[in-house]
Amino acid sequence: MIAIIDFGSQFTQLIARRVRELGYYSIIYPYFVKPEEIQNADAIILSGGPRSVISSDHPALSGEIWKMQVPILGICYGFQLMALEEGGEVQPCEIREFGKASFTTCAKSILWKEIPQESIVWMSHADQVTASPPSFEVIGSSGNAPVAAFQNIKRMRYGIQFHPEVVHTDFGKQVLYNFLHFIVKAKQDWDLTSWIDQEVQAIRDKVQNRKVICAISGGVDSSVAALLVHRAVGANLHCFFVDHGLMRLNEPEEVETMLRQLNLPLTVIHAEKDFLKALKGMTDPEEKRKVIGKQFIKLFEKEAKKAKADILVQGTLYPDVIESSGGISGIAAKIKSHHNVGGLPDTMKLDLLEPLKYLFKDEVRLIGKQLHLSDRFIQRHPFPGPGLGIRIIGEITPERLQLLKEADFIVREVMKQQDKEQKIWQGFAVLLPIQSVGVMGDERTYQNVLAVRMVQSVDGMTANWYPMPHAWLEKLSTRITNEVKGINRVVYDITSKPPATIEWE
């Protein structure tokens, strides 16, 4: 077992996910874990984090953990914490490093096996190690961090300033493999099949003979969650699909048809008027998300009472948990509320069951295949629970909603025609709260501006904007401005995540 210690990083679960990808079993623990809880660990990986190790109240590890006779790898904050613990120095950066950076190995290390001397890594730090601990050897540097990696081979202590867990680090997965395979000598005996069996049993243990309802949207997340729970509890599960009026053009009918094919007990609830009424006049994105979450729960509590159920299943994924809450240790920065995490009311009367909440989208897709879910579900682009409600910047009105539905339909059509190799992770339109001057038929117009966003990603934690060919961008813009009355300008979002999020709100 590989123990991953969380210091509040947005990427902690990504470390665990990379470790699992490599075939090793891992568990995430908070930084205040007791030593006896991880006494059977074969190795420890220390995550990054948002705090500064220089501050007087910085999160720290128990001294007994540092004394454990197992390999330890410190990443970013964990690297700096190891430096301080072992007698090194950490100071604020003169020039901070956020994003891609050039990295150079400057000494031999098993960590660098099969890795070139020069490579690109992903940095995210405002402090830096200015002096390595006395018994440690510096083994890597970057342009703004002369001490960007060190090691103490005898004591099996290794530290790196960059993030090997993100896809932007060229050889990050190789670094983790080298640590786990050559230094830890761990067994590669982890796979998703064993995860399914374990999770089904865990669901049975929690639910027992109670009744369960499931919020299902037709997306891969909620569909996989429903199939897992159905495998565990059978007839004690009932699924509900809510048409809240914020779905894409023709989508409610398409989703209902798809869901019927899963042979799950299903009820469709039409609640468009209730959601739009509750959202009337709202412009703040956090408030919109929370109102949508409350409306969902209000409906589910009503249906749960009818079904005599007291458990609600949701297809929450780990990126939702990370952005909405404080992660494992409770200190990760909150980015935005997700209606099924941070948007839930405190007074909710249902117990939550979220079997996928420590998984990433691509892992869920793999599980979906093992559960024999069709590609129609598995390959669907992510669609947020609040739907178009968070793709209309500003107030949601029936008129603006219809405008976005028509434009988004064209975006999806053009994207499908162009993206034959399925390189686009997610693509959609965003209606902006501004208007601009235009000219149509020799007449002045003053109409809405539409933003189009398409990104490539593996897990949703990071994403690159998709370089749509100019000819297709022109086709997209021409069709929208010609076919959607009320839009006279189209812009293309070329911002990656980070610094932006994938959705605008």
Using CA atoms, how far apart are residues 341 and 321, in angstroms rounded to an integer?
6
Name the residue among 422, 447, 428 with its Cα closest to residue 437.
447
Is 353:311 a contact under the CB 8 Å cutoff?
Answer: yes
The residue from 86, 165, 354, 503 that is catalytic is 165
Cβ neighbours of residue 492 closer than 8 Å, sequence gap 6 or more: 451, 452, 453, 468, 473
- Is 251 one of the annotated active-site residues of the chain? no
Name the residue among 225, 184, 230, 161 with its Cα closest to residue 353.
225
The residue from 125, 163, 244, 338 that is catalytic is 163
- Is 165 one of the annotated active-site residues of the chain? yes
- Is 323 one of the annotated active-site residues of the chain? no
Using CA atoms, how far apart are residues 86 and 138, in angstroms rounded to an integer?
14
Name the residue among 130, 142, 150, 160 with its Cα closest to residue 101.
142
Strand pairing of 118-131 and 89-105? Answer: antiparallel
Using CA atoms, how far apart are residues 175 and 244, in angstroms rounded to an integer?
46
299-305 long-range contacts (CB < 8 A, ≥24 apart) are 299/240, 299/242, 299/269, 299/271, 299/274, 300/213, 300/215, 300/240, 300/350, 301/348, 301/349, 301/350, 303/213, 303/240, 303/267, 303/269, 304/211, 304/213, 304/349, 304/350
The full DSSP string for 313-326 is E----HHHHHHHS-
Angle subtended by helix axes 220-233 and 361-370, to nearest 10? 50
8-state DSSP, 12: H
56 bridge partner residues:
none
In order of 87, 93, 157, 442, the CA distances from 71 in angstroms are 18, 28, 6, 72
Is 236:210 a contact under the CB 8 Å cutoff?
Answer: yes
The tokens describing 247, both together, are 């779905």
What region does 345 belong to: left with phi over 0, alpha with psi -120 to 50, or beta? beta
Name the residue among 194, 257, 264, 176 with its Cα closest to residue 227.
264
Q: What are phi and psi of 201, to 5 degrees?
A: -65, -40
Give the start-end residues of each E strand in 15-87.
26-30, 43-46, 72-75
Angle subtended by helix axes 398-418 and 470-483, to nearest 10? 150
Residues classed as catalytic: 76, 163, 165
